[in-house]
Structure 1
Amino acid sequence: MHHSKWILLTIIIACQLIVVLDASIMITAVPEIGRTLHMSTTSLTWVHNSYILAFGGFLLLGARTGDLWGRRKTLSAGIGLFSLTSLLAGLAPTAEFLLVSRACQGLAAALATPAALALLSASFVEAKERTRAIAMYSAVSAAGGSIGLILGGFFTDFISWRVGMFINVPIGIVLLYLVQRFVQNTEPRTGRFDLWGALTSVMGMTSLVYGLVQAAEGGWERTAAWIPLAAGIILLAAFVLIEARAAEPIVPLRLFTSRHRSGAYLGRFLIVSGNFSLFFFVPQYLQSVLGFSSFEAGLAFLPFTGAQFGMMYLIQGLVHRFGTIKVLTAGLLLASLGTLWLSKIILAQAPFFPHMFILLAMMGIGSGMVFQPLTALGLTDVDARDAGAASGLINVAHQSGSSFGLAVLITVFEAAVGSDQPSTLQLAEALSSSVLGSVVFIILALAAVLLCSLPSRRPARTQAPKKQISGIL
């Protein structure tokens, strides 16, 4: 790989790392943020959700912006806005100010991320280089969440949770310089922004998550839960209709004509729904039941992170030898078994070492076998005109999955805990139930991947998918 390509890949990976880190860097700081800004446990979920919903909701519009404005211009705008809003979030004097700043961070990330991934797709076309680049990108995307837990815990215990936001500013300034120096801009295209499509997708997902959080807080019988849930379903249905009729949709429905791509998007959504929720619930167990500090709770994810990064160096050989579907199946089975066992360990209130240590490493290996193949399948045989939309969909599935999964499983937690001041046993039982819910999401991800990889019953259509994805499956 040429020197200039290494620099370009470093820019892309660094950009992806800071936006993924910011999805989790606040989690180990949640108790301290609650005390500092006087936020309840339920309202604290919005520290994560306000960022993720704006990120996932506007990603498709961000991908379209990159196509129309040019990717360098869009990437620069996203990084600059991300740095500014990170500074504002770190300075937040109130809960409301923090949540608005986090939502603006999400919007900035939605501009930068698809532009970066589209640059990767367009710049690394040779098979070996492309596979290596996607593996590194996927490893950072998957492991960034656990790295954020460690950094967030360190800053919270030894400096301040606000530093987790401030560090984005100097990183952003360096990235802006490198983008202007080494990234060539694509030619802007004439076209339209599918604003209605973007708004209905953002409002639909936000309504769904808001309804689930309301159900967790006050029960399913509340109209405050059912009305936003119904509105979310209607808005998402309207989004599909808009995309089907729009002259220039942010999500061309032709991207779903490939069952392998469709399975990759759905599988990613489901695995992240289960996987990311662990980053929220396991630190609660470590801090509230085992008495870990914020930093110690973050460090506890080192076996997960280390195993996941280690798989980055093995995944290419595994896919080459066994094929994408077999590697995906093995990884999802390993992740689901490890998560199931973890729920039993939490219920028993077992010590961290060796039980949880081994399980987190096992789950990290499983996750490390999943994300690179899913990314490759999601970009398989995508036309150049749809590169931005396809990269946007990959990230939409990732970010929306984390928000949706947490919203669903927080309702499981609240239903199981049954008290405003639970005992240690009640808390462990509720956390165990939530982790068990993660297993369900991971198993559904496995089912989605397997169903979408089955050969067609029609002989005329059996050969086309195999030809389209030759060299990947």
Structure 2
Amino acid sequence: MTRTEAADAPRTVPRSSPPGLVLVLACVAQFMVVLDVSVVNVALPSIQTSLDFAAADLPWVAGAYTLAFAGFLLLGGRLADLYGTRRVLVAGLLLFSMPSLVGGLATAPAVLVAARAAQGLGAAVLAPATLTLLTTTFPEGPRRTRALAVWTAVSLAGGATGNLIGGVLTQTLSWRWILLINVPIGAAALCAAVRVPARHHRNGTAARLDLPGAASVTAGLALLAYGIMRVGPRGWGDPVTAVALAAAAVLLAGFVLIETRLARDPLIPLRLFRLRAVSAGNTIMLLAGACFQVPMWYFLTLYMQDVLHYTALETGLGFLPHTLLTMVIGLRITPRLMKRADDRTLIIAGALVAAAGFLWQSRIGAGSDYLSGVLGPAIPISLGGGLLNTPLTTTVTSGVAGRDAGAASGLMNTAKQVGGALGLAALTAALAGRATTSPALAEAYGDAFLIMAVMAAAIAAASLTLPARRDAAVSARAG
């Protein structure tokens, strides 16, 4: 390696950094990011009444966050590589916490929507940085596997508990606290972030940020998310939707051209896609996002409120089995299984078990109760999700050089978020126009879960293309 290359190559966080602090910081920050994807759902009626929202504008309380989050993720991931993980973590926490305060104190709809969009920008900077912090602190092997297992379980729990926390805060305090609660948590995380040793970055990085690539992919993904969000209420034939999706296609094609032909230092280095774990793994992550988490939470929430007629708090409590099962499986069982089986096997097994759970969930009807319509299917769905998520995260981030860790993290998070948006849009579009009686709604939601079962089976099939992989230390002992 030449002296210039040595200067360009980033070093990992020094061994003297406290790994326990790093893990707690990464998990707290990621929990906030994922929590705010779903925490507003059950509070929307209260927000509408409090701020006099028009019915057509209310979805933007959730949508503005998702739009900014998906649009800026790739840029957020690359920032950690170029400017150092600690610096980006601090910036992300500030960008997330300050709009939370503004949104919690908002007195007008426009202020709340703008604050949610700014939160999404902060989340896009913060989420890749949390994963980069772990992959540059823990070397590949059992220690990284355990750290990623905790991070993944916390991520899943954050999404699953969003409805519960939102329901509790809205019913006992005020809807404002679903945003204000981020302020003291963010302040505590900031105190921890400044104690993390800075990871060195390349010399002259300010001039190397791929601004044309960042602008094209950010605008392209934002327009894609915007177009997808309009599909549900407006349909695929809406002119604005068509223009947004066409413009997104042009911009994303331009991004590929910039990255392959023009960029000196690409936002997403093409060398990443030479790694089969990255290219195939992110395709599978896209499929996983299209059925797990956001689409699943969305339709389960509707089922419990529209068919079972649960209150916001009761709906939140109804998600507790998913949260507890996912935490136990992700934290206690999956890391142990990863010592005995390769990641690909666990991903396939988890996808097939989850497919069986979604198939069971698809049999819900107007006469179903909580035991048969929610709790029973929750067991295989949570078991399958808990089995596949950590091995998939480990696979997608394996073999990536330290200088590309942030780009790989941003790519993985983007695949998951765009997959969730695409999956939810496709499912809502497929179910549009159904009757609103309880039997018809139950049948429609059942059809949504049947489609998720098919997607989970597709994950199992696609996972056959992944390289077989085990923890490096475990493989060495086995050899």
TM-score under structure 1 length normalisation: 0.90
Distance 1:409 1:194 in 2: 35
Partner of 1:459: none
SS in 1 for 2:195: helix
Q: Does 1:236 align with 2:252?
A: yes
Question: Which amino acid is the alignment partner of residue 375 of structure 2?
Answer: F
Distance 1:138 1:23 in 2: 16
| 1:167 to 1:260, Cα distance in 2 relative to 1, 3 A | same
| 1:177 to 1:218, Cα distance in 2 relative to 1, 3 A | closer
Q: Does 1:356 align with 2:374?
A: yes
Distance 1:389 1:183 in 2: 20
Partner of 1:67: 81
Distance 1:46 1:432 in 2: 26
From 339, 346, 350, give the equivalent of 1:320: 339
Contact 2:357–2:377 under 8 Å retained in 1: yes
Q: Structure 1 residue 350: deviation in Å?
A: 0.5
Bigger mean CA offset, 269-278 vs 195-204: 195-204
Q: Does 1:156 align with 2:174?
A: no
From 93, 99, 110, give the equivalent of 1:85: 99
Question: Which amino acid is the alignment partner of residue 165 of structure 2?
Answer: L
Q: Structure 1 residue 381: deviation in Å?
A: 0.8
Q: Structure 1 residue 400: deviation in Å?
A: 2.1
Q: Does 1:106 align with 2:120?
A: yes
Distance 1:227 1:184 in 2: 44
Partner of 2:11: none
Partner of 1:32: 46
Distance 1:381 1:253 in 2: 14
Alignment of 1:161-310 (within 5 A): 161-187=175-201, 189-191=203-205, 192-245=208-261, 246-275=263-292, 276-310=294-328
Bigger mean CA offset, 26-35 vs 368-377: 26-35
| 1:336 to 1:147, Cα distance in 2 relative to 1, 3 A | same
Q: Structure 1 residue 185: deviation in Å?
A: 4.5
Contact 1:138–1:371 under 8 Å retained in 2: yes
Alignment of 1:352-431 (within 5 A): 352-417=370-435, 422-431=436-445
| 1:189 to 1:472, Cα distance in 2 relative to 1, 3 A | farther
Contact 2:70–2:225 under 8 Å retained in 1: no
Distance 1:317 1:95 in 2: 48
Post-superposition Cα deviations, 1:208-244, rounded to whole Å, max 9, x if no partner, equal 3333333332333332332222222222222211111
Q: Structure 1 residue 188: deviation in Å?
A: 5.6
Distance 2:70 2:45 in 1: 25
Q: Structure 1 residue 410: deviation in Å?
A: 2.2
Question: Which amino acid is the alignment partner of residue 98 of structure 1?
Answer: L
| 1:166 to 1:249, Cα distance in 2 relative to 1, 3 A | same
Q: CA RMSD in A?
A: 2.4
| 1:393 to 1:220, Cα distance in 2 relative to 1, 3 A | closer
Alignment of 1:141-152 (within 5 A): 141-152=155-166
Post-superposition Cα deviations, 1:175-214, rounded to whole Å, max 9, x if no partner, equal 1111112443434642322222222222222323333333
| 1:446 to 1:53, Cα distance in 2 relative to 1, 3 A | farther
| 1:320 to 1:56, Cα distance in 2 relative to 1, 3 A | same
Distance 1:140 1:95 in 2: 31
Post-superposition Cα deviations, 1:297-347, rounded to whole Å, max 9, x if no partner, equal 0111111111111112111221222221111111111112211221211x3
Post-superposition Cα deviations, 1:90-137, rounded to whole Å, max 9, x if no partner, equal 223333322221111111112222222112111111622111111111
Contact 1:274–1:405 under 8 Å retained in 2: yes
Contact 2:67–2:226 under 8 Å retained in 1: no
Q: Structure 1 residue 365: deviation in Å?
A: 1.0
SS in 1 for 2:244: helix
Give the unaligned 5+ runs of structure 1: 454-464
Bigger mean CA offset, 382-391 vs 125-134: 125-134
Bigger mean CA offset, 84-93 vs 186-195: 186-195
Distance 2:172 2:451 in 1: 33
Give the unaligned 5+ runs of structure 2: 1-14
Q: Structure 1 residue 32: deviation in Å?
A: 3.0
TM-score under structure 2 length normalisation: 0.89
Post-superposition Cα deviations, 1:246-297, rounded to whole Å, max 9, x if no partner, equal 1111111211112222121111121121112111121111112211111110
Partner of 2:10: none
Bigger mean CA offset, 46-55 vs 124-133: 46-55
| 1:204 to 1:448, Cα distance in 2 relative to 1, 3 A | farther
Distance 1:398 1:203 in 2: 18
Bigger mean CA offset, 55-64 vs 430-439: 430-439
| 1:231 to 1:123, Cα distance in 2 relative to 1, 3 A | same
Distance 2:211 2:342 in 1: 39
SS in 1 for 2:434: helix
Distance 2:56 2:271 in 1: 39
Contact 1:194–1:250 under 8 Å retained in 2: yes
Distance 2:373 2:429 in 1: 27
Distance 1:467 1:413 in 2: 39
Q: Structure 1 residue 441: deviation in Å?
A: 3.1
SS in 2 for 1:414: coil
| 1:244 to 1:126, Cα distance in 2 relative to 1, 3 A | closer
Question: Which amino acid is the alignment partner of residue 85 of structure 1?
Answer: P
Distance 1:363 1:274 in 2: 11
Contact 2:282–2:411 under 8 Å retained in 1: yes
Distance 2:454 2:230 in 1: 22
Distance 1:317 1:30 in 2: 41
Post-superposition Cα deviations, 1:393-428, rounded to whole Å, max 9, x if no partner, equal 1211222222222222222232334xxxx2223322
| 1:413 to 1:154, Cα distance in 2 relative to 1, 3 A | farther
Question: Which amino acid is the alignment partner of residue 390 of structure 1?
Answer: A
Distance 2:228 2:190 in 1: 38
Q: Structure 1 residue 439: deviation in Å?
A: 2.7
Distance 1:267 1:18 in 2: 25
Q: Structure 1 residue 41: deviation in Å?
A: 6.3
Partner of 1:135: 149
| 1:435 to 1:90, Cα distance in 2 relative to 1, 3 A | farther
Partner of 1:8: 22
Bigger mean CA offset, 181-190 vs 168-177: 181-190
Bigger mean CA offset, 132-141 vs 229-238: 229-238
| 1:466 to 1:318, Cα distance in 2 relative to 1, 3 A | closer
Alignment of 1:339-350 (within 5 A): 339-345=358-364, 347-350=365-368
SS in 2 for 1:28: helix
| 1:469 to 1:226, Cα distance in 2 relative to 1, 3 A | farther
Question: Which amino acid is the alignment partner of residue 272 of structure 1?
Answer: G
